[in-house]
Amino acid sequence: MTTFPNSPRVLKGALVGVSPTNPIPSVIVFQYNPDTLTRTIKPRAPGGDGARSEALRLTGPPEETIKVDVDIDATDQLEKNDGTAASVGIYPQLSALEMLAYPPSAIVIANTVLLAAGTIEIIPPDAPLTLFIWGAKRILPVRITDFSITEEAHDQALNPIRAKVGLGLRVLSYNDLSITDPGYYIFMAHQIVKETLGNAGVTSDLTAVAGSNVKLL
């Protein structure tokens, strides 16, 4: 799955996990950028049959979900006699993605010790802050909502060497995060970038859609 040598360099999409117990982020770069990315945006509005004054009110940023399929393939690494690919296939890449959905084992063990010691209340561990990066203009804090792995080929030791990973992501906005969470400000910066781009993509001239001498208000 090599690319033509004279093809333009394309930025890679990635998922980045930032754990509260580890200052070094886990950067998982997509080996091949997905061909498609599906985004669903649901505006947040007051529930029920509210007053007429509530009809246009927004209670926060929209709920956004992202669906993306990521291909992982060890063919190129095996052709180059890469030792890791030869011994364990793509287990490391799959494991790195899966660990974004796991609480750190050190915290699980510590909580087990506290529970055995008679601690009344154990606070569930926080998941890593996960960032979905799709170019410089789209850096989003997300939560993995669903995760599917289809292993399509294995080596003689049954190590996976080719797989398709389906990721379901829910974007976390400032409605979901504490003001002390870095993701709060990352989402706010994303919204400001989106507002700037949106202003460049609209016009105030109604002539092309409604004819001349038309006033809406």
What are the tens digits of pLDDT across the range 140-182? Answer: 999 999 999 999 999 999 999 999 999 999 999 999 999 999 9
φ, ψ for residue 117, nearest 5 deg: -80, -5
Q: What total of structural domains would you count in the chain? A: 1
Residue 110's pLDDT is: 83
213, part of any domain: no
Residue 124's pLDDT is: 74
Adjacent-strand bridge partners of 70? 165
pLDDT, mean over the chain: 85
Residue 70's pLDDT is: 93
5, part of any domain: no
Residue 116's pLDDT is: 84
Q: Encode burial over 57-92: b for 16+ CB neighbours within 10 A, e otherwise.
A: eeeebeebbbbbebbbbbeebeeeeeeebbebbbbe
Residue 115's pLDDT is: 82
Segments forming the whole domain that contains residue 82:
14-199
Residue 119's pLDDT is: 73
Distance between CA atoms of residues 11 and 5, nearest Å: 15
Residue 106's pLDDT is: 80
Residue 164's pLDDT is: 95
Edge-to-edge strand ranges of the sheet holding 14-19: 22-29, 14-19, 129-133, 139-154, 160-171, 60-73, 37-44
Residue 4's pLDDT is: 54
Q: Which residue has the tokens 């400001």?
A: 192
**CB of 197 within 8 A of CB of 135?**
no
204, part of any domain: no
153, part of any domain: yes
Residue 154's pLDDT is: 95
Q: Encode burial over 116-155: b for 16+ CB neighbours within 10 A, e otherwise.
A: eeeeeeeeebebbbbbbbbeeeebbbbbbeeeebebeeeb
**CB of 38 within 8 A of CB of 154?**
no
Residue 109's pLDDT is: 84
3, part of any domain: no
Residue 5's pLDDT is: 58
84, part of any domain: yes
Distance between CA atoms of residues 72 and 75, nearest Å: 9
φ, ψ for residue 188, nearest 5 deg: -60, -40
160, part of any domain: yes
Residue 107's pLDDT is: 79
Residue 125's pLDDT is: 73
208, part of any domain: no
**Cα–Cα distances in angstroms (integers) from residue 147 to residues 50, 133, 205, in the given order:** 37, 18, 45
Low-confidence ranges of the chain (pLDDT < 70): 1-9, 47-53, 120, 210-217
